[in-house]
Each structure stands twice: as structure tokens, then as C-alpha cells.
Structure 1
Amino acid sequence: MNYNDFLTRQQQIKKLSIAEQKNFYEQLLKKKYDKTEVRILASFYYGQLFYQEGNFRKTIEIIEPIIVDYQSYPYTPKLLSCFNLIGVATHCETEYNVSRFFYETALKIAMENDEKYYYAFEYNNIALTYIEEQNYEEALKSLALAEDVLKDCDEEMGAYIYINKSISLQKLNRLTEALKAFELGVSQYHADTIVPDDVTRCAATLYYKLEQPEKYETYKKQILSKMDEMYAAEFMDACRELFECGRDSCDDNLMNHILRSMNQYMEKYPDEIKVGLEFAELIYVYAVGKMDKDAILEALEAKNYYKDRIIEYSKENHIKSL
């Protein structure tokens, strides 16, 4: 199957069920193709199907053969897409160093091929890994580089860059700069339309820290109303951020609301062990604040339970990758 034939077929199978699409790519990748653009594209679309289902390990497994031998393949922009897909999959697995390596490699390849359009995208992705590691100074350095090349990218990329910049500046308590970045992201780059959930979360914590209670309450209510719709990482971040606002303001109702929401989430998704660990951590913090010894012990037991499960999960996936 040549490149054009693949593109034609790919458009056709998009109308099929997910299972049928997976089968098409699986059979295609079993064939002994040379290292061609077709193999890059097939791997990307196949891996993307699993990513959309939240099966990040399977995504990594599919994309990895392309990544480890990428220099043997012809350059195509979809090669960058493969690096970004495995980057976001490892990011979702909280392997931030690994994720950053993939983004940095994608940036290197883009620069070697003068693909300026992708520079801001990769710098922003790199910044996200630093934000997750709470290394906000490094995040801001990457975001500054993204700002410098934003002119070569889609304008909407500015929405991501300036909201992430605002988040990082907030964490460093540089609130005037954080507000400026937030307002620029919304007014000039329409972040409230492009990344509405990120804007809501960013605004809630920003206006809380700026002591603007009316705006804080507005955004807080929006977050609480959407809790049931959030995916795991977003849900965990929202809970952590609002819980901290509640703890700082001694808002017992808010903290209990967050804990109830997390309990309901874990009842619904018991295998979301990272959310479970965060839940146990917040229960522990709350119990310490109340000096409730029994609750403290229960929270510590829960933390150890989820830590053990995470270690076991990591071991299993390490063995599978050998």
C-alpha cells in the first residue's frame, strides 16, 4: 500500500467502529513494510485510538518502535505527531522526565527540518512537564521560548501558552504578572473558548489569591458543577487546587465537598490508583488539621495501600516492556 492509497483508505475506515479501525491498523502493521511514511502514519493512528480510550501503555507500546529507530524513517510531520503522542501518553503515566525527552526530541527534529510551525507547540509541551514537577522557573523559561516563536504557529497556541504562564506565575506568587498573562490569554487569544476548563481552574485559584471573592466564587462553582465530567488528571488537579483554597480559607464545606467527590469518584473508578493516592493524601491533611488521630491512621493506611499498588503497577509494566 503506497502513501496515497493509505490516505484514501484511512478516510474510509474512520467511518467504521473502533474495533474495526483497530483491526485494520493491526493487520497493516503486521505486514513487512519497509520503514516508510505509511508505517509512521499507521502507527500514529493506531496508537491514537488507544490513547483516546485512556490505554496509555498500549499507545506507548505501539509508537515505541517508530521512536527508537526514527532516524531510519523518512521525515514527515507525522513523525513529530508520533513523538508528541508518546510524549502525552508517558505524561499521563506521570513519567515526566521521559515525556520531556520525547518533546525535546520532537523539537530537535522540527528544527532540523525547519518546521517552525511546531516550535511553540513543543516548548509548551516541555513546560507542561516542568509544571507537573512543580519546577515553575524552568516552565517559565520554556514558555518564554514559546512566546518568542508564537508568530510562526497558529494563533490559538497563545491560549495554551499564556494560561500555562499564568498558572506558573501563580505558583511563584507573582500575582500581578499572573493576572496579566491570564488576561492576555483570554482577551487576545480567546483562551476561554479554546481551553475553557483550564481557564476556569486558573481563574479560580488566581482570583482567590488576589482576594477577589466574587470572581473566585463564580469560577469555583463552575469547577464544582463539572466534576463529574472530568477525566482523571483534570479531576485530581481540580480537587487538589480547590482543597488548598478551602484549607487556606478554613472553608470546611468546600473541603468536605471535595472529599465526598473524590470518594464517589473512587467508588466509580476503583482502579484510578493515582486519584486514590491523592484522595488519601487530602484526607490525611484534613485529619491532621482536625487532630483526628483515628482518621490520620486510616489515611496513612490508605496512602500506603495506593503507593503499593502504584509500585506493583510500575513493575508489571516494566516487565511487559522488556
Structure 2
Amino acid sequence: MNYNDFLTRQQQIKKLSIAEQKNFYEQLLKKKYDKTEVRILASFYYGQLFYQEGNFRKTIEIIEPIIVDYQSYPYTPKLLSCFNLIGVATHCETEYNVSRFFYETALKIAMENDEKYYYAFEYNNIALTYIEEQNYEEALKSLALAEDVLKDCDEEMGAYIYINKSISLQKLNRLTEALKAFELGVSQYHADTIVPDDVTRCAATLYYKLEQPEKYETYKKQILSKMDEMYAAEFMDACRELFECGRDSCDDNLMNHILRSMNQYMEKYPDEIKVGLEFAELIYVYAVGKMDKDAILEALEAKNYYKDRIIEYSKENHIKSLQQYIEINSQISELERDALTGFKTRKAYYKDIAIIECDEEMCNQPVGIAFADVNGLKKNQ
């Protein structure tokens, strides 16, 4: 299937059920050594389906083979999309430094290909990882760089940048600046239309801190009414932020509402272990506040359970990474030998010579090199 055929087919596939879409991409990706633009596109759309379901680990598993061997593929802007998709998936798995690495690599590739359109996007993503690490000063530095190149991007990118800037400034208690950034994002860049859920969450915490209860209540109700529709990452952020508001204001009803919502989410998605750990942490905090010893012990058991599952997953992921590394090196080794004779290629011999020259023991030993020109091997005998 060539590139144009894929695009035509993909538009038809989008109308099918999720299961049918997954099957289509799975079949396309069975050709492991197909280093084409079509493979990049198929991997992206396949991984995106699992991301939308909150299955971040599967998303990473699908995209990782493209990422670790990206230099073997033709450049296409969708390659940057793959880096961003695995970046947001690892972000949701709370692996923020890994996520940042993917965004920084995407920025490097964009710069190498003079894709100025993507600069602001990548700087904003890098800032998000710093926000999650509570390193708000670094987040603001990345957002300042995003502002500088915003002119080369779609104007709507400003909605993301200024809402994230407002969030970072809030955390540093620079509320006047945070309000200015928020209002700029909404009035000039229409953030309330482009990223309505982000605006709602940002506004709720901002107006809570500014002690404007009417506005806070309005945005809080909007968040609570949409929680069933949120992706896992948005859901986690909303729960965490509203729970903190409820805890600060001693709002038991709000905290209990959040805990019930998280419990319902975990019943629906029991394999979302990072959400489960976050849920157990909030239960623990609530139980400590109430001095409920039984609830504290139960929450600690839940935290340990999810931590053990995370460790188990990390081990499995490490093994998969090793397997991919071995497979890629195997492919490289195959490319270093002539398919007909089995002899190494000239490039492979140069590599061997470089190794000898760097080895103190070997470079002091006599080395012989023989060249032979063999013709006619492909002729029929």
C-alpha cells in the first residue's frame, strides 16, 4: 500500500468501529522491516486509538519501534507526531524526564528540517513536563521560548501557551500575572473554545486562589459535570486540583465526590495503575485528615499494591526494550554483510579497522588486509 492509497483507506477506516480500526492497523504493521512513511502513519493512528482509551502502555509499545530507529525512516512531519504521542503517553505514565527527552528530540528533528511550525508546540510540551515536576521556573523559561516563536505557528497555539503560563504562575503564587496570562489566552487566543477543559481547570484554581467564590463555584461545577467524559490524563489532573481546593477549604462534599469519581473510574479501568496510585494517595491524605486508622491502613495497602504493579510493569518494559535493541542491532548486522556472499561490506570493514585503532593491545599487533575483486557470481552456472 503506497502513501496515497493509505490516506484514502484511512478516511474510510475512521468510520468503522474501534475494534475494526485496530485490526486494520495491526495487519499493516505486521511487516516488521517495512521502513516507509506508511508505517509511520499507521503506527501513529494505531497508537492514538489506545491513547484515547487511556491505555498508555500499549501506545508506548506501538510507537517505540519507530522512535528508537527513526533515522532509518524517511522524514515526514508525522514522525514528529509519533514523538509527541509517545511523549504524552510517557507523561501520563508519570515518566516526565523520559517524556521531555521525546519532546526535545522532536524539537531537534524539527530544527534539522526547518519545520518552524512545530517549535512552539515542542517548547510548550517541554514546559508541561516541568509543570508536572513542580519546576515552574523552568516551565516558564520554555513557555517564554514558545512565545518567541509563536508567530511561526497557528495562532491557536497561543491558547495552550498562555493557559500553561497561567498555571505555572499560579503555582508560584504570582496571581496578578497568572490572571493576566489567563485573560490573554481567552480574549486574544480563544482558549475557552480551543482548550475549554484546560481553561475550566485553570480558572477554577485561579479564582479559588484569588478568593472569588462565585467564579470558582461556576468553574468547579463545570469540571464535575464533565469528569465522565475526560481522558485519563485530564481526569487525573482535575481530581488532583479539585481535591486540593476541597482540602484547603475543608469541603468534605467535594473531596468525597472526587474520591467516588476515582473509584468509579478504577472499576471501569482496573489496569490504569498510575490512576490507581493517585487514587490511593488521595484516600490516604483524606483518611489522615480524618484520623481514620482503618482507612489509613487500607489506603497504604492500596498504595503498595499499585507500586508493586508499577515495578512489575517497569521490569516487563525493560525486557521489551532489550528485545527491541537486540532486534535493531540484528538488522544492522544484516546490513553489514553482502546478501549473496555473506562477506562483510566495505563499511563494516572500516568499522573493524576503527575498533582496532582504538584498542591499545590490538593496534600493537600485526594486522593484514587482503582485497579481492570477484566477478560473475550472479551468472548462471
Q: TM-score by structure 1 length? A: 0.92
Answer yes or no: is 1:79 the counterpart of 2:86. Answer: no
> How far apart are residue 157 of structure 1 and its match?
0.7
Segments of 5+ residues of structure 1 without an aligned counterpart are none
CA–CA distance in structure 2, aligned partners of residues 226 and 8 of structure 1: 34
CA pair 263-5 structure 1, distance change in 2 beyond 3 A: closer
Please say if residues 53 and 231 of structure 2, whose CA atoms lie closer than 8 Å, have aligned partners that are also in contact: no
Give CA-to-partner distance per residue, 1:103-134, whole Å, 9 cap, x none.
11111111111111110111111111111111
CA–CA distance in structure 2, aligned partners of residues 150 and 263 of structure 1: 40
CA pair 291-176 structure 1, distance change in 2 beyond 3 A: same
> How far apart are residue 173 of structure 1 and its match?
0.7
Answer yes or no: is 1:222 the counterpart of 2:213. Answer: no
CA–CA distance in structure 1, aligned partners of residues 32 and 263 of structure 2: 49
Give CA-to-partner distance per residue, 1:184-205, whole Å, 9 cap, x none.
1111111111111111111111
Answer yes or no: is 1:319 the counterpart of 2:319. Answer: yes
Give CA-to-partner distance per residue, 1:201-237, whole Å, 9 cap, x none.
1111101111111111111111122222223222222
> How far apart are residue 34 of structure 1 and its match?
5.2
CA–CA distance in structure 2, aligned partners of residues 211 and 108 of structure 1: 43
> How far apart are residue 147 of structure 1 and its match?
0.6
CA–CA distance in structure 2, aligned partners of residues 31 and 305 of structure 1: 38
> How far apart are residue 75 of structure 1 and its match?
1.6
Secondary structure of 1:309's match? helix
Please say if residues 123 and 145 of structure 1, whose CA atoms lie closer than 8 Å, have aligned partners that are also in contact: yes
Q: Once structures 1 and 2 are overlaid, which stretch shifts more, 302-311 or 132-141?
A: 302-311
Match of 1:166 in 2: 166
CA–CA distance in structure 2, aligned partners of residues 279 and 36 of structure 1: 42
> How far apart are residue 33 of structure 1 and its match?
6.0
CA–CA distance in structure 1, aligned partners of residues 60 and 312 of structure 2: 19
CA–CA distance in structure 2, aligned partners of residues 321 and 32 of structure 1: 16
Please say if residues 54 and 272 of structure 2, whose CA atoms lie closer than 8 Å, have aligned partners that are also in contact: no
CA–CA distance in structure 1, aligned partners of residues 306 and 284 of structure 2: 13
Please say if residues 33 and 39 of structure 1, whose CA atoms lie closer than 8 Å, have aligned partners that are also in contact: no
Secondary structure of 2:34's match? coil
Identical-pair percentage: 100
Please say if residues 91 and 129 of structure 1, whose CA atoms lie closer than 8 Å, have aligned partners that are also in contact: yes
Segments of 5+ residues of structure 2 without an aligned counterpart are 323-381
CA pair 141-246 structure 1, distance change in 2 beyond 3 A: same
Q: Once structures 1 and 2 are overlaid, which stretch shifts more, 100-109 or 43-52?
A: 43-52
CA–CA distance in structure 1, aligned partners of residues 253 and 27 of structure 2: 54
CA pair 287-33 structure 1, distance change in 2 beyond 3 A: closer
CA pair 242-16 structure 1, distance change in 2 beyond 3 A: closer
CA–CA distance in structure 2, aligned partners of residues 252 and 143 of structure 1: 36
CA pair 219-24 structure 1, distance change in 2 beyond 3 A: closer
CA–CA distance in structure 2, aligned partners of residues 240 and 32 of structure 1: 41
CA–CA distance in structure 2, aligned partners of residues 51 and 170 of structure 1: 29
Secondary structure of 2:155's match? coil
Q: Once structures 1 and 2 are overlaid, which stretch shifts more, 75-84 or 276-285?
A: 276-285
CA pair 6-221 structure 1, distance change in 2 beyond 3 A: closer
CA pair 20-306 structure 1, distance change in 2 beyond 3 A: closer
CA–CA distance in structure 2, aligned partners of residues 262 and 54 of structure 1: 14
> How far apart are residue 83 of structure 1 and its match?
1.2
Cα RMSD of the aligned pairs, angstroms, is 2.1
> How far apart are residue 178 of structure 1 and its match?
0.5
CA–CA distance in structure 2, aligned partners of residues 186 and 79 of structure 1: 31
4+ runs of 1 displaced by more than 6 Å?
Answer: none
User: How many residues were matched structurally?
Assistant: 322
Give CA-to-partner distance per residue, 1:270-290, whole Å, 9 cap, x none.
333222222222222222223
Secondary structure of 1:317's match? helix
CA pair 282-208 structure 1, distance change in 2 beyond 3 A: same
Give CA-to-partner distance per residue, 1:119-153, whole Å, 9 cap, x none.
01111111111111111111111111111111111
CA–CA distance in structure 2, aligned partners of residues 260 and 53 of structure 1: 20
CA pair 69-201 structure 1, distance change in 2 beyond 3 A: same
Which structure: greater helix fraction?
1
After the TM superposition, which residues 279-290 of structure 1 pair with which residues of structure 2 at under 5 Å, given as runs? 279-290=279-290
After the TM superposition, which residues 148-159 of structure 1 pair with which residues of structure 2 at under 5 Å, given as runs? 148-159=148-159
> How far apart are residue 7 of structure 1 and its match?
2.7
> How far apart are residue 316 of structure 1 and its match?
2.9
CA–CA distance in structure 2, aligned partners of residues 321 and 3 of structure 1: 29
Q: Once structures 1 and 2 are overlaid, which stretch shifts more, 220-229 or 202-211?
A: 220-229
